[in-house]
Amino acid sequence: MPDSAIIIPSVLNGLTTGGLYALVALGLTLIYGVLHIINFAHGALLMLGLYAVYFLNVQFGLDPYAALLIVPPAMFALGYALQRGIIGRASHGRDENILLVTLGLSIIIENLSLYFFRSDTRTVDTPYSFDVVEIFGAFLPYPKVVAFVGALMTAALLWLLMSRTDLGRAIRALAKERKGAQLVGINADHVFAMSFGLGIACLGVAACLLLPSYYVNPQVGSGFVLIAFTIVVLGGMGSFVGALIGGLIIGVVEALGGLFLGESLGQIGIFLIFILVLIFRPTGLFGARA
């Protein structure tokens, strides 16, 4: 049995990873909560964000954290345009159409990336990539601590936006009551696109925070999105608090799983949780009961 000197750093490490997972899941749950669709293109769009951060660094020497000023707004615009121009138009109001459209988008984006960027795995070099921060006696990679703080700040900003602004109220209103929302003058197409854009902008933030300690290749998104789906189910579909707490839980479970079962089996715990939640609490930890 490992002692606390090993377990505590593992838990802290898991929390920092979980923060990033939460960020990816926040976007997914926002899109699900409003549009009631599972966005299968989420992983592919995260991958695009990572490439954007990578090329901004390699071509223009822009630090990944400085790219926060460019990539999330650009991803927001991409998400808005995708929803307004392709997903919304192609759906004809049918959820199954949207699933197929996002799945198709995912395949197209991944294969175009494979064509243009090749399958090489790429990383960026930053002066702080291998720096560590000591927290409660544990030495944690500096980029992961920054990512964790960034994820919490993004979640807080998202919460403020949803609870304190007219746009946030419009998003929440439309998520639950479309007719009522239209009758107070909410432009449903615009707000749907804003929600999709915000969800994709979260991926832009995740990409900027992730790349200093991670890598990018055309398949990188699929691993994240599978975990993000698990988090969304665990936290409750459409729940922001659930996505945040669920992300942290999954991060810790993965870290402890790796500690006790070895790196290759570490993710077993995540999917065990996924199955148990589906059996015993299908609405998730913070999901609304039917």
Binding-site ranges for another protein (CB under 8 A): 166, 169-170, 172-173, 175-177, 179-187, 288
Whole-number Å distance between alpha carbons of 213 and 224: 15
Output 112 or 288, the one with its CB closest to another protein. 288
Angle at alpha carbon of residue 219, lines to 104 and 210, rounded to 5°:
115
**Residue whose structure tokens are 């929440």:** 172
What is the Cα Rg of the chain in Å? 19
Output 184 or 261, the one with its CB closest to another protein. 184
CB of 178 to another protein, least distance (A): 9
Whole-number Å distance between alpha carbons of 136 and 134: 7
Closest CA to 192 of 75, 47, 82, 72: 82
CB of 193 to another protein, least distance (A): 14
Two structure tokens written together for 117: 């960027």
CB of 129 to another protein, least distance (A): 43
CB of 168 to another protein, least distance (A): 10
Give helix 42-60 / helix 220-235 axis angle, nearest 10°: 130
Give the SS3 label for residue 155: helix
CB of 160 to another protein, least distance (A): 15
Output 183 or 290, the one with its CB closest to another protein. 183
Output 121 or 187, the one with its CB closest to another protein. 187
Give the SS3 label for residue 114: helix
Output 84 or 172, the one with its CB closest to another protein. 172
Whole-number Å distance between alpha carbons of 234 and 228: 10
CB of 288 to another protein, least distance (A): 8
Output 158 or 200, the one with its CB closest to another protein. 158
**Residue whose structure tokens are 């995540």:** 270
Give the SS3 label for residue 36: coil
